């Protein structure tokens, strides 16, 4: 099997402009002064955080609990939040990622990545004319064989559309470390697919 | 050996379905309850310290 496989960034960009990030900071500052202002951030990011947690657990009830816990912790600790030039969501994803990891440690179960078939097909669509079941299963098999840390980075990069800087912040690693993990994962996939990667930052 | 599993999810989670799990008022209630408990802990701790100081003071007074 040597299919051409385009690693495309998300069609809908999740990247925020610097002006939007600064405008969002005003809401964050307001939320630091008054918890009621947190509602705007809750409304804006609930769906994204829920989807992220759901992809990492594949259980709607657990995802609802962990998402609720993520926002609760964010609200409790918002005064400690420091702006690092990234969207506020990066901090929420960091809390959510820690909550998910804590959940797996507590339940002593294997971590899970439940990837949307639609998104996988979207990634493959440009190059694989008939992305069939066999190819999907091969991709799943390859992803299973990769180290968890690499899959985490791939998920944030290609399913959440995060920049390397955000990924580094979320996973508490360096930006070069995030890039390295991505490239190593792609190298591993290259053994079975021809990878054509579109870069965006 | 990897320490994770990969599942291919056929069904997309819709915004409408996610919306059902949103409960901002419950989050605020939880936040207020937690703040009250935190305040109560601080007050109890201070009361304990003051109580101990009073006991020690009278213990030394009676020596």
* Interval A138-197: pLDDT, tens: 888 888 989 999 999 999 998 898 999 999 999 999 999 999 999 898 888 877 776 656
pLDDT at residue B40 tops 90: yes
Nearest residue on chain B to A140, judged by CA atoms?
A: B6
- What's the pLDDT at A127? 52
CA angle A79, A83, A10 (to 5 degrees): 120
Higher pLDDT, A11 or A97: A97
Chain B residues inside the 8 Å CB shell of A44: none
Specify the range with the lowest mean pLDDT, choosing from A47-51, A77-81, A105-109, A192-196. A192-196
* Mean pLDDT, chain B, whole residue set: 91
Q: Report yes or no: A84 and A40 within 8 Å, Cβ to Cβ.
A: no
Q: Which of A35, A116, A140 sits opposite B12 (nearest CB)?
A: A116
- ipTM, interface predicted TM-score of the complex: 0.78
Q: Report yes or no: A136 and B8 within 8 Å, Cβ to Cβ.
A: yes
Digit-coded pLDDT (tens) for A30-73: 999 998 899 999 999 999 999 999 999 999 999 999 999 999 99
Min Cα distance A79 → chain B (Å) is 14
Give the burial string for A119-138 (b: 16+ CB within 10 Å, else e).
bbebbbeebbeebeeebbeb
- What's the pLDDT at A1? 46
Rounded to a whole number of angstroms, the CA Rg of chain B reads 26
């Amino acid at each position: 099997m040597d299919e051409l496989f385009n690693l495309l960034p998300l069609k809908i960009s999740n990247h925020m402009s610097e002006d939007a990030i600064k405008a969002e900071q005003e809401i964050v500052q307001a939320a630091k002064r008054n918890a009621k202002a947190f509602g705007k951030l809750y409304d804006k990011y609930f769906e994204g955080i829920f989807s992220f947690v759901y992809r990492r657990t594949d259980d709607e009830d657990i995802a609802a609990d962990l998402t609720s816990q993520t926002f609760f912790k964010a609200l409790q600790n918002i005064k400690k939040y420091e702006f690092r030039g990234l969207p506020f969501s990066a901090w929420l994803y960091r809390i959510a990622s820690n909550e998910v990891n804590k959940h797996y440690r507590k339940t002593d179960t294997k971590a899970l990545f439940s990837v949307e078939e639609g998104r996988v097909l979207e990634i493959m669509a440009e190059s694989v004319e008939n992305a069939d079941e066999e190819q999907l299963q091969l991709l799943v098999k390859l992803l299973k064989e990769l180290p968890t840390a690499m899959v985490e980075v791939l998920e944030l990069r290609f399913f959440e559309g995060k920049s390397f800087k955000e990924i580094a912040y979320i996973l508490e690693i360096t930006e070069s470390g995030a890039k390295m993990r991505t490239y190593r994962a792609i190298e591993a996939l290259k053994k079975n697919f021809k990878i054509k990667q579109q870069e965006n930052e | 050996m990897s320490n994770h599993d990969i599942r291919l999810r056929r069904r997309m989670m819709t915004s409408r379905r996610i919306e059902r799990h949103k409960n901002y008022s419950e989050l605020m209630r939880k936040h207020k309850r937690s703040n009250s408990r935190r305040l109560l802990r601080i007050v109890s701790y201070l009361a304990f310290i003051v109580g101990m100081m009073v006991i020690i003071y009278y213990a030394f007074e009676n020596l």
